[in-house]
Amino acid sequence: MGGKVVTVTSGKGGVGKTTSTANLGMGLARLGKRVVMIDADIGLRNLDIVMGLENRIVYDLVDVVEGRAKVKQAMIKHKQFPDLYLIPAAQTRDKSAVSPADMVQLCNELRKEFDFIIIDSPAGIERGFRNALAPSDDILIVTNPEVSAVRDADRVIGLIEAENKGPARLILNRVKMELVRKGEMMSADDVTDILGIKLIGIVPDDEGVVSASNSGSPVVLNENSRSGQAYRDIARRLTGEDVPFMALDSGGGLLAKIGRLFGGGR
């Protein structure tokens, strides 16, 4: 059946879904994979600007579904990676313009030519989420170690199970290790305990992520960034490679380091 469809979703908005999608798409392209990304957040187009492709859009997802454009016409090729494409969301329509069956049909067509089809799901649990979920082989849930985000993630996991999809895997984003160490932020273990799903990556909170989005060049391309490293690792795990989780506790001041040295810490 060819390529694999990976849906990135979260329930709650603002947890870093689009940023994660952009980074994983580029992370997989870096590994030489043929990748197409679909922005399923119709009406709230974002993936294009995060990836630096916002000036090149002619046709969009709705144009393809409604037959005004061929799939190839709507795919924007990335300059740096010739095997990386984006199908942007429509900006002037709403989610009802696309159905789950449309998405399944589109992805079946794309599977023939790509190794990975990555879908950026909109927030929420309505039509847009159903559209993003319908064709998925693999589901990644993005959440932050905060009560509201984790609760919404749990709700989405329930809906995924009800659809006999999954099991979904978790990307825990914006982890501040200093706070985790002080007991002021839930750890990855806490969150996986609560949600009962497997972790695919922990992305540390990193100023580099915002500046990377600012310039349209996702942080996965920054070799010196820890969050970039986290996304590079997740991309490799998506290809089936067994990549050990990096130690995230090398931050903090000298005193904290000495304290950990003697106290064991976490």
Partner 1 sequence: MASFWDRLFGRTSERESSAQAAKRRLQFVLVHDRINLPPDIMAAMKQEILDVISKYVQVNEDSIDIALHPSDGSSLNLLVAEVPFTKSIVAPKPDIDEDDDLEEPTA
Q: Which is nearer to partner 1, 79 or 155 (CB)?
A: 155
The answer to the question of residue 183 lying near partner 1 (CB under 8 A) is yes
Query: Are 84 and 26 in contact, with CB atoms under 8 Å apart?
Result: yes
Q: 244: cis peptide before it, omega within 30°?
A: no
Q: Of 92-100, 113-121, 133-141, 148-156, which segment contacts partner 1 by CB under 8 A? A: 148-156
Q: State which H helix or E strand residue 166 sits in.
A: none
The answer to the question of residue 193 lying near partner 1 (CB under 8 A) is yes
The answer to the question of residue 67 lying near partner 1 (CB under 8 A) is no
> From CA 66, how far away is CA 71, in angstroms rounded?
11
**Side chain identity at residue 235, one-letter code:** A
The answer to the question of residue 158 lying near partner 1 (CB under 8 A) is yes
Q: Which is nearer to partner 1, 50 or 142 (CB)?
A: 142
Q: Which is nearer to partner 1, 1 or 261 (CB)?
A: 261
Closest approach of partner 1 to the CB of residue 259, in Å: 5
Angle between helices 147-162 and 188-195 (to 10 degrees): 40
Find the binding residues for partner 1 in span 228-257 (CB under 8 A): 255
Closest approach of partner 1 to the CB of residue 13, in Å: 19
Total residues contacting partner 1 (rule CB under 8 A)? 24
Largest CA distance in the chain: 66
Q: Of 7-15, 59-67, 80-88, 189-197, which segment contacts partner 1 by CB under 8 A? A: 189-197
Q: Of 7-15, 43-51, 118-126, 144-152, which segment contacts partner 1 by CB under 8 A? A: 144-152
Q: Which is nearer to partner 1, 61 or 172 (CB)?
A: 172
The answer to the question of residue 172 lying near partner 1 (CB under 8 A) is no
The answer to the question of residue 202 lying near partner 1 (CB under 8 A) is no
Query: Are 101 and 130 in contact, with CB atoms under 8 Å apart?
Result: no
Q: How many of the other CB atoms lie within 10 Å of CB of 242? A: 6
Q: Which is nearer to partner 1, 101 or 258 (CB)?
A: 258
Closest approach of partner 1 to the CB of residue 170, in Å: 14
Closest approach of partner 1 to the CB of residue 132, in Å: 22
**Side chain identity at residue 118, one-letter code:** I
Reference 133, options 111, 107, 109, 113; nearest CA is 107
In degrees, rounded to 5, the angle at the alpha carbon of residue 159 between the alpha carbons of residues 20 and 6 is 35
The answer to the question of residue 184 lying near partner 1 (CB under 8 A) is yes
Instruction: Write out the two tokens for 25.
Output: 């798409």
8: exposed, middle or buried (Cβ count in 10 Å: 0-12, 13-18, 19+)? buried
Sign of the torsion angle spanned by Cα atoms 133, 135, 137, 138: negative
Please report, as ranges, the residues that interact with partner 1 according to CB under 8 A.
145-147, 150-151, 154-155, 158, 180, 182-187, 190, 193-194, 255, 259, 262-265
